[in-house]
Amino acid sequence: MNILEVKNLRKRFGDTEVLKGVSFSLKKGEVLSIIGSSGGGKTTLLRCLNFLEKANSGDIIVNDKTVYSAKEGEKPVVSQEAQLSFGLVFQQFNLFPQYSVKENLMLAPKLRTKRKDTLGQRETMGEISERADMLLEKVGLTEKADSYPCQLSGGQQQRVAIARALMLSPEILCFDEPTSSLDPELTGEVLKVIRSLKDSERTMIIVTHEMEFARNVSDRVIFIADGVIEEEGTPEEVFGNPKSIKTRNFLSAGKEG
């Protein structure tokens, strides 16, 4: 069964159409990498999936439930569970600077428990704290629980951001160029964490410029150019034997540059 189905997603900014009808699906536990040149629409696609941008038209279906549906010229319908189906790890981490590492993890779940219209189960503070400890261990930052973001390296901050996103147990975890603002020597620790998530069968969508990583970690790769999916397949197919000329040009430019 498909955990995610995206149908004919279109997004315009003013007169510029950034997504020109994007459709794809994702199975549970699958890791999908989205590659393509800057301005091609990969980040916009990810932002539409996380409702940071509202697609002008198209459907987003999670576990056979339509969580987002938009028609041209009409107000989009977003279901309540929509936001929490997806988690997002940003290029710039976006940790909350005034909170310690552990508080960063606990803030959203704590607020969710306090809220009256809480969906799903209510956790006690103890359970939230326990889960935070567990996830910090998973990303290897147990000893940094009481540090503040400004005291951490970029790689450590990004690992905290990953743990923070996991606190909400999203069905699908998205990464927006998770290593692009890191020094080269720090990308490894973040990629290692992402790889360990793949081993625990987490469904993920990764927008990335790290071709080697995309090749190694993904089950499937999508190449986006000019707002459409130009090529889609297994890493072997897309990297080893690309069908489209655009894909071939993109991949060979990467090798030379």
Q: Residues interacting with other proteins, by CB under 8 A?
A: 50-52, 83-84, 86-88, 90, 92, 94-98, 107-108, 111-112, 115, 148-150, 164-165, 167-168
Sheet holding 172-176, edge to edge: 86-89, 172-176, 203-207, 31-35, 220-225, 228-233
Choice between 90 and 213, CB closer to other proteins: 90
The pair of three-digit structure tokens given for residue 178, joined into one six-digit string: 């998770």
Alpha helices per DSSP H over 21-153? 42-49, 82-85, 101-114, 125-138
Q: Shortest distance, CB of residue 6 to other proteins, whole angstroms?
A: 17
Choice between 70 and 101, CB closer to other proteins: 101
Q: Shortest distance, CB of residue 33 to other proteins, whole angstroms?
A: 20
Choice between 164 and 246, CB closer to other proteins: 164
Beta partners for residue 34, in sequence order: 207, 222
CB neighbour list of residue 230: distance below 8 Å, 6 or more residues apart:
36, 223, 224, 244, 246, 247
Cβ atoms of residues 60 and 66 within 8 Å: yes
The residue written with tokens 């360990």 in the block is: 196
Q: Shortest distance, CB of residue 48 to other proteins, whole angstroms?
A: 12
Choice between 141 and 172, CB closer to other proteins: 172
Please state, in angstroms and rounded to a whole number, the distance separating the CA atoms of residues 51 and 33: 19
Choice between 86 and 239, CB closer to other proteins: 86
Q: Shortest distance, CB of residue 119 to other proteins, whole angstroms?
A: 9
Q: Shortest distance, CB of residue 2 to other proteins, whole angstroms?
A: 22
Choice between 172 and 191, CB closer to other proteins: 172
Q: Shortest distance, CB of residue 216 to other proteins, whole angstroms?
A: 26
Beta partners for residue 237, in sequence order: none
